[in-house]
Copies of this chain bind each other. A is one copy, B any other.
Amino acid sequence: MIQTPYLLFLGDAPDQLAAKVARGIRDWRPDNCVGQFRMEGCNADIGLPDMTLAQARSAGARTLVVGVANRGGVISAAWKKVLVMALEEGFDLASGLHNLLRDEPDLAAVAKATGRALHDVRVPEVAYPIANGLKRTGKRCLAVGTDCSVGKMYTSLAMDKEMKARGLKSSFRATGQTGILITGDGVPLDAVVADFIAGAVEWLTPDNDADHWDHIEGQGSLFHVSYSGVTMALIHGGQPDALILSHEPTRTHMRGLPGYDLPSLEALRDTALPLARIANPAAEVVGISINTAAMAEDEALDHLAEVEARMGLATVDPFRQGAGRLVDALSGL
């Protein structure tokens, strides 16, 4: 569990896109963020107050979160200087970089000397159990995609936010690096050993109040041959009551697999639902989330209406329209 609130480290981000993780945290958990830390030459700005390490500590920040994709895949000497100072100032550090904080001898030594924590959210820190398949109390919703990176995390975060705004009981359950940094907790599912993937999802979504919903961050796709095993484990370990179908309509082939066509939403529904019913016979497909970022507004709305008529399910782009209708679709389950 990463201690909040955060100071978000943007480093020397060359552009806004490089600070995508920081922006995600600010968008979804603004209460967790006291400010941003920008180095000389930083071209990103996520609209939080610029703070020094000391100012942020005074404002209550407990963890410096690396919210920027690094250049060249390494933690640079310039970054390192700030990270070491942050440990000395009393911050924990958190990062989703491939270059692990713990693998840097100086960071490891200073963290040990100062008693601070280094959170590498790509690395599992729990000995997860093998899944037992026992029915758990509470409700669970999982977004399943026609492909990777079609907006599953965004959909789950938007549904969680909408439910909280309505005063309903809801948790976002992170299964990837960005999601874990946003919430401060979760399972880095792609790094879990095969025997324990489904068990890690069970662990992440335990018994809860009967009217509480877990919104489980999806990963991969049943139709993506590189990652379908992880998707399968999410469906069986998560034992979802509700499935949301996620899709990006302008994509021409499966991400990273040029020879592979995307499945239709019908094929996704007809594949995912029977598999979900193995773990939860009451599972239903309740709605469709479409990422229309690549479309003009008119075109997007026409497309959403066409899909809704064809599939007979609430169909929205939560970025354009919010997730209200998807949350509505959960009532009665």
Interface residues of A (CB under 8 A from B): 130-135, 189-195, 197-199, 222-223, 225-233, 236-237, 239, 254, 256-257, 259-260, 263, 271, 274-275, 278-279
Check if A233 sits within 8 Å of B194, measured CB to CB.
yes
Identify 6 new A-B residue pairs, CB closer than 8 A, beyond the known A192-B194, A229-B229: A132-B256, A133-B257, A190-B195, A194-B197, A223-B278, A228-B275
Of A197, A222, A259, A279, the most chain B CB neighbours within 10 A belong to A197
**How far, in angstroms, from A208 to B311 measured CA to CA in the complex?**
43
Tell me, rounded to whole Å, the shortest Cβ–Cβ distance linking A217 to chain B: 14
Check if A275 sits within 8 Å of B190, measured CB to CB.
no
Q: With A130-B226, A233-B228 given, is the CB distance from A190 to B198 under 8 Å? A: no
How many protomers of this protein does the assembly include? 2
Query: Which of B189, B227, B229 contacts A230 (CB under 8 A)?
Result: B229
Contacts of A274 in B (CB 8 A): 271
Check if A271 sits within 8 Å of B260, measured CB to CB.
no
Tell me, rounded to whole Å, the shortest Cβ–Cβ distance linking A231 to chain B: 8
Check if A194 sits within 8 Å of B131, measured CB to CB.
no
A-B residue pairs in contact (CB < 8 Å), sample of 9: A130-B226, A133-B226, A191-B194, A199-B226, A223-B278, A228-B232, A229-B232, A263-B278, A271-B274
**How far, in angstroms, from A227 to B260 measured CA to CA in the complex?**
26
Check if A227 sits within 8 Å of B195, measured CB to CB.
yes
Check if A230 sits within 8 Å of B194, measured CB to CB.
yes
Residue of B nearest to A200 (CB): B194
Check if B191 sits within 8 Å of A131, measured CB to CB.
no
**How far, in angstroms, from A112 to B197 measured CA to CA in the complex?**
35
Query: Which of B132, B192, B223 contacts A193 (CB under 8 A)?
Result: B192
**How far, in angstroms, from A249 to B239 measured CA to CA in the complex?**
27
